Amino acid sequence: MAERVRVMFTEEEVDKRIREIGEQISRDYAGKTVHLICVLKGGSFYMTELAKRITVPVTLDFMSASSYGSSTKSSGVVKIVKDLDEPLKDKDVIIVEDIVDSGRTLSYLIKMLGDRGPKSIKLTTLLDKPDRRVTDVKVDYTGFEIPDEFVVGYGLDYDQRYRNLPYIGVVEFD
Ligand code: IMP
Ligand code: MG
């Protein structure tokens, strides 16, 4: 079966949107330091681009969580594969995700990280599929809302491939 990727958002569109979110975060966090937490692996492309567009001081940390179950559906059971290096006490935290789908991963992470005593905790995601939500997750900064389609690129994978695409697309088979 041949695979191709149909473009949903071009590199230029993604760059422009990330720049806008960076400007908004810079305004909202004036006078503060933003502690960005990248959810690996998918969030890494978005986080580095976003961090470059934020003009207030930024610190970074990384964590990796995997949900048990099939590769295209999340089961709601989240395993922490790599925890943060730094404590969150009194930090202004923004969790950076590639996509919020059912919301299960994020609702678990927000609760877990919120218990570590940050001064504030917010969430940004490059993509949001609101129609798929099964838990109540409030996203503070959203790149794009998208329909219920399986997307790749800009950190998002299909069976670990396509993360490196500089645009966001949908895998099609013919
Ligand atoms: P949630 O717990 O259902 O919100 O799962 C979110 C995770 O599922 C994301 O961090 C992705 O790793 C993965 N995921 C959900 N939708 C897609 C998609 O369209 N393309 C690639 N990965 C996806
Ligand atoms: Mg992810």
Spell out where 75-157 has E strands. 78-82, 92-100, 120-128, 141-145, 151-152
Rounded to the nearest angstrom, the distance between the alpha carbon of 2 and the centre of ligand 1 is: 23
Calpha distance 3→172 (Å, rounded):
6
Question: Annotated catalytic sites, by residue?
Answer: 101
67 lines ligand 1 (CB under 6 A): yes
CA distances from 93 to 1, 24, 29, 36 (A): 44, 15, 11, 6
pLDDT at 174: 81
CA distance 51 to 94: 11
From first to last of its 174 residues, the chain has per-residue pLDDT tens of 789 999 999 999 999 999 999 999 999 999 999 999 999 999 999 999 999 999 999 999 999 998 765 555 556 678 899 999 999 999 999 999 999 999 998 999 999 999 999 999 999 999 999 999 999 999 999 999 999 999 999 999 999 999 999 999 999 988
Atom of ligand 1 nearest to the CA of 158: 21
Cβ(43) to ligand 1 under 6 A?
A: no
List domains and CATH numbers for the chain: 12-146 (3.40.50.2020)
